[in-house]
Amino acid sequence: MTERRWRPAGVRLRTTLFATAIVGVALAIGLVALLLLARSSFETAIQNAAIARAESIGSLASRGVLGDSLPTGDDIVATQLVSRSGTVERSSANVEGIPAFSDGSLPAGERLLSRDRNLSDALERIVGYSIEGAVLVVRLGTETPDGPAEVVVVSSLNTEGTLEVLIQILAWSFPAVMVVVAVVTWWGTGRALQPVEDMRLEADLISHTDLHRRLPVPPSADEVRSLAVTMNEMLGRLEAAADEHYQFVADASHELKSPVAAIRTMIDVARSNPDLVDFDTLLEDLLHEDLRLEMLVGDLLTLARYDERGLTVHVEEVDLDEVVRSEASMVMTSSTAPIDLSEVQPIRLEADPARLQQLLRNLLDNSVRHASTGVWVETRVDGLEAVLTVSNDGEPISPEERERIFERFVRLDDARGRYEGGTGLGLPVVRAIVRAHGGRVAAIEPLHGGATFEVRLPRVVAGYPAAGRALSP
């Protein structure tokens, strides 16, 4: 039985739950604040109504037109008009014969508000219905034709009934609002993430054989569009890298086929007609093709390592002029074109000696192979850089070809290059070695009429233990 693996909730579900939870918490806090505000508002309204009733009774009493029974109504439980002596002059019908709620000592025009729990309990027994909590007692001093008196209005502060209705309404509304928020968030998140899902479905169909396909780009100018554009740019780079890789393999196979086929042809001819073969010449030709094959394999290996993780360089102090002279002497043993070293200055730098020799050998081989009468090498110091220039008097490189010449298997004269031993990998290897040292190489304006290559290497390599110390020229 297949084991069920736990899968985390998707972005859509997590967003919906998170948004609903946030809105729920915020709404709950808002509802509690609303209830507290409603309670305060209700109590304020009750207080204002009680004060207005006391002022109305006081106004009537001061003019001597007050009836025998005082009114109640709404939240007002009882009313009294108490003389200065403490006698109840008038009262509401429900508290007739009940002692005064105050001593009648409040001066005319003054008002006093208080809350009284004990009076609430006493009034419950008198009026015959429940009065929750304390009552509000409003005392107002007034002047009547019979002398100073005090109006007392007792009002219930019980707002639970009204709040209970409000709570019931909110209790039904809260889950409804949560459902609406969840549905809207789920729908909105789904619409927002639909382009991402379309991109995912398209990306799932892309394999190494159809890197030309691209992800759909949504019309909205947002982060999702930026993601789609970035992913398509990445696919473009992958496609270009894959094409370059396939081309590299095809070109390498073609280049390897030439010396292998030449060697096989020589051997077949020697086996078929041994009497007609000059074995010294045959051995020389076989050695030449073997060296060419060895050089080609070495260059391919160097470039493959560079593509995989960059070239590893083992840096130490090197005398550039000595390496130039050593490699030039080796090249001149098999070349008829002289190499002028008169402009080679003593320069010390930090570099990988083996890679530096390989760099110089490739540049010198290339220049000698295409030279008409000679090759010139120059070294000099330019600030923190060591500058190496190799030039010849052969065919110049046109400005539009000066960058392409460093691409792999590129020959400006393909037929001549193939028969003269060129593989189209020498200059790409040079660029890989230079970049591994943190330098740069370029084909520049001719100094002697032909091709001129300039290499700039830092004299001190960052990260090397000796980096930072002064190097003598």
| DSSP letter string, 224-273 | HHHHHHHHHHHHHHHHHHHHHHHHHHHHHHHHHHHHHHHHHHHHHHHHH-
Per-residue pLDDT at 415: 39
Secondary structure class of 431 (helix, strand, coil): helix
Domains of the chain: 17-162 (3.30.450), 207-309 (1.10.287.130), 311-458 (3.30.565.10)
Local confidence pLDDT in tens for the 473 residues of the chain: 444 444 456 788 888 888 889 998 998 898 888 888 888 888 888 888 888 888 888 888 888 888 777 877 777 878 888 888 888 888 888 778 788 888 888 888 899 888 887 777 777 777 666 677 778 888 998 888 888 999 998 888 777 667 778 888 888 888 888 899 889 988 888 888 888 888 888 888 888 777 788 888 888 888 888 888 888 888 888 888 777 777 777 767 766 776 777 788 888 888 888 887 788 888 887 887 787 777 777 777 777 777 666 777 889 999 999 999 999 988 888 778 899 999 999 999 999 998 899 899 889 988 998 899 999 999 999 999 999 999 999 989 888 888 888 887 776 654 344 445 456 778 888 998 999 899 999 999 999 889 999 999 999 866 554 443 444 44
The neighbour count for residue 18, using CB atoms within 10 Å, is 11
Per-residue pLDDT at 254: 63
The neighbour count for residue 400, using CB atoms within 10 Å, is 7
Task: Find out whether 70 and 92 touch, Cβ atoms under 8 Å.
Answer: yes
Identify the residue whose tokens are 């004060």.
51
Burial environment of residue 35 by CB neighbours within 10 A (0 to 12, 13 to 18, 19 or more): middle
Task: Find out whether 355 and 430 touch, Cβ atoms under 8 Å.
Answer: no
Rg (CA), the chain: 51
Residue 35 CA to residue 273 CA, distance in Å, equals 113
Per-residue pLDDT at 465: 46
H-helix or E-strand spanning residue 344: strand 339-344
Per-residue pLDDT at 423: 66
Task: Please report which residue ranges of 277-352 form alpha helices under DSSP H.
Answer: 279-309, 320-332
Per-residue pLDDT at 418: 43
Beta strands at 88-92 and 69-70: parallel, antiparallel or unpaired: parallel
Residue 451 CA to residue 447 CA, distance in Å, equals 8
pTM (predicted TM-score):
0.50
Strands (E), 345-384: 348-351, 375-382
Residues in the chain: 473
